[in-house]
């Protein structure tokens, strides 16, 4: 059980730009931990590198800040070693949809029971504004002399097809809803991803709060059933666009729980941890004589 004040650290505070979407996700995550009644010492936040990945520094749970693109396998190792922990992975779009995509795909297919929150600002923040795997097609910035011609990664379609069992989209402009999505994602037994749209006020001058407010809608208000996989795919495919927008058209961006499925998790299939987490198992008195005898 925890209260917000238990999650505060006293010796530092976030250094994100004022107005950055990371703030809202930070608040939402803390609120979610409280709402979920989790003990802070039983939560591990694992992150990569980027503005967003600094988040764990400012929450008083266990934290591991690793390498760019690589928080996922570290988190998987943590979860397999101690299945009693709540493990949450934090990364940016560069971290998760660029450098570390391979790990994301495999974590999803394994359906390991952890939650991934991607701060998707469609730009590289920490390295000062180069385009990212989710930058809208046709955008131009310091890493591309002409508008991008690369179709962006579609995180939701990717996650569904890779085998993720909880796929949602959040938006930093609505932190209450973001909190609810994190709560649902953590509660879900299996691999959860919350692709969270996070305006970067310093480098991304296109995908701003206002831009999103004019385009986002809530899938549940349209009666979406997240168990309907075909529909989920169709929603996922609504945005981002793989071709530049035609004159007079406007994007429509679905948010909320897009897809949900119950499936055996990776941990469920591992007999060695069926009784107790690995970390709780005794390593005293290991007798290897029987296997030595077999080599006679």
Ligand X SMILES: Cc1ncc(C[n+]2csc(CCOP(=O)(O)OP(=O)(O)O)c2C)c(N)n1
Where does this chain bind ligand X (CB under 6 A)? 49-52, 68, 92-95, 119, 121, 123-127, 132
Q: What is the DSSP letter of 97?
A: I
HSE of 284, CA atoms in CB hemisphere, 13 A: 2
Which positions from 17 through 46 interact with ligand SF4, judged by CB under 6 A? 17, 20, 22
121 binds ligand SF4 (CB under 6 A): yes
Distances (CA, A) of 268 to 9, 88, 145, 273, 281: 35, 19, 49, 8, 17
201 binds ligand SF4 (CB under 6 A): yes
Least spacing, CB of residue 198 vs ligand SF4, in Å: 7
C-alpha 78/C-alpha 87 separation (Å) is 8
Least spacing, CB of residue 275 vs other proteins, in Å: 9
Name the token pair of 244: 């530049």
Q: Which is nearer to other proteins, 106 or 177 (CB)?
A: 106
Q: Which is nearer to ligand X, 58 or 266 (CB)?
A: 58
Q: Which is nearer to ligand SF4, 16 or 259 (CB)?
A: 16
Question: Does residue 18 sit in helix, strand or coil?
Answer: coil
C-alpha 255/C-alpha 181 separation (Å) is 10
Q: Which is nearer to other proteins, 84 or 147 (CB)?
A: 84
143 binds ligand SF4 (CB under 6 A): no
Q: At what angle do helices 229-236 and 155-162 cross, to 10 degrees?
A: 150
Given ligand SF4, ligand X, other proteins, none, residue 296, with its beta carbon under 5 to 8 Å by kind, binds other proteins
Distances (CA, A) of 138 to 206, 254, 273: 11, 21, 49
Which positions from 233 through 252 interact with ligand SF4, judged by CB under 6 A? none
Residues lying near ligand SF4 in the complex (CB under 6 A): 16-17, 20, 22, 51, 121, 125, 200-203
């Amino acid at each position: 059980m925890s209260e917000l004040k238990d999650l505060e650290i006293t010796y530092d505070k976030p250094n994100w730009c004022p107005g950055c979407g990371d703030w809202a996700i930070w608040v939402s995550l803390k609120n979610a931990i409280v709402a979920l009644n989790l003990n802070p010492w039983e939560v591990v936040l694992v992150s990569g590198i980027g503005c967003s990945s600094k988040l764990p520094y400012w929450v008083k749970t266990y934290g591991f800040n690793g390498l760019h693109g690589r928080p996922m396998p570290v988190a998987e190792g943590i979860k397999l070693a101690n299945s009693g922990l709540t493990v949450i992975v934090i990364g940016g779009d560069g971290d998760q949809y660029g450098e570390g995509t391979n790990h994301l795909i495999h974590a999803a297919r394994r359906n390991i029971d952890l939650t991934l929150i991607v701060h998707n600002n469609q730009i590289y923040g920490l390295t000062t504004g180069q385009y990212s795997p989710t930058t809208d097609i046709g955008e131009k910035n310091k890493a591309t002399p002409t508008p991008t011609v690369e179709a962006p990664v579609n995180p939701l379609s990717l996650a569904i097809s890779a085998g993720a069992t909880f796929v949602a989209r959040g938006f930093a402009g609505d932190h209450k809803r973001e909190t609810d999505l994190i709560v649902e994602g953590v509660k879900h037994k299996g691999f959860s991803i919350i692709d969270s749209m996070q305006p970067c006020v310093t480098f991304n001058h296109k995908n701003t709060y206002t831009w999103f407010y004019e385009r986002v809608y809530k899938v549940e208000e349209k009666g979406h059933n997240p168990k309907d996989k075909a529909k989920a795919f169709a929603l996922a495919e609504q945005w981002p666009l793989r071709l530049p927008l035609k004159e007079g058209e406007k994007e429509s961006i679905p948010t909320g729980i897009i897809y949900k499925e119950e499936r055996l998790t990776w941990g469920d299939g591992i007999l060695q941890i069926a009784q107790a987490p690995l970390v709780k198992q005794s390593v005293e008195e290991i007798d290897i004589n029987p296997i030595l005898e077999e080599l006679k």
